[in-house]
Amino acid sequence: MAEISALNGGAPMPRGPYISMITNRTMNLLIRAAMLFMVGVFLALVLNLLQVQRNVTLFPPDVISSIFSSAWWVPPCCGTAAALIGLLYPCMDRRLGEPHKLKREWSNVMRCVAVFVGINHASAKVDFANNVQLSLTLAALSVGLWWSFDRSRSGFGLGVVIATLATLATQLLVYNGVFQYTSPDFLYIRSWLPCIFFAGVITVGNIGRQLALYEYIVSQEKSHQD
């Protein structure tokens, strides 16, 4: 998944014939992509830290060094994926023309991010009886996240598709030995991975939509000041 997304991210954007449009649109896109990338990297690092914390009792020493215990290319991959998804969501909204039902506000987006981090936190800190319970709880939480902050069919579909693909890709990577979990409990990770992916897609999509709206407002304000 990571390689594919990296390829897509590096591909040149389709360019229109008009200069004024190019500067505006590509700048807009680039800024949005950069912000989403940073958000993705940041979230990946922080959430990785949370997952490391879970294993603190098992692997006592060097917590700091264990931040970077996973491969270096994981955060950039997450960032790229975030940028892609965040740009994909407004694009799909435009194509499908589905009117948004919920009010688009930064406060809602912040709430969404907080709940996402909370889901991660819960999956990291809370002791579940078994993996089925963990999976069910996380799935319920993720769907609740979607229902409270997205509620669009396209968002749900995209989330499910991307979560499935991402889980498959991760499993393939692990199977081929490119990447391995720090935790020996393999089933545990597999049980929360799809739900976390789904919630992440919804969150990043929300941010992307808000950014797409925000660029417009900023440009308008700027022109107003001129």
Residue 129 is a binding residue for other proteins (CB under 8 A) = yes
At 91, which amino acid appears? C
Binding mask 80-99 for other proteins (x = CB under 8 A): --------------x--x-x
Characterize 59-80 residue by residue with b for buried, 16 or more Cβ atoms within 10 angstroms of its Cβ, and e for exposed.
eeeeeeebeeebeeebbbbbbb
- By CB under 8 A, name the one of 1, 6, 28, 190 that touches other proteins: 28
For residue 107, give every residue at least 6 positions away whose Cβ sits within 8 Å of its Cβ, in sequence order, or none: none
Max Cα–Cα distance, the chain, nearest Å: 61
Q: What's the min distance (Å) between Cβ of 172 and other proteins? A: 29
If one counts every other C-beta atom within 10 angstroms of the C-beta of residue 39, the result is 21
**Distance, CA of 107 to CA of 85 (rounded, Å):** 20
Spatial distance between the Cα atoms of 89 and 200, rounded to a whole number of angstroms: 13
Query: What x-and-dash track marks residues 146-185 binding other proteins by CB under 8 A?
Result: --x-------------------------------------
Which residues would be at the binding site for other proteins (CB under 8 A)? 18, 20-21, 24-25, 28, 42, 45-47, 49-50, 52-53, 56-57, 60, 63-64, 66-67, 94, 97, 99-100, 102-107, 109-111, 113-115, 117-118, 121-122, 125-129, 133, 136-137, 140-141, 144, 148, 212-213, 216-217, 219-220, 223-224
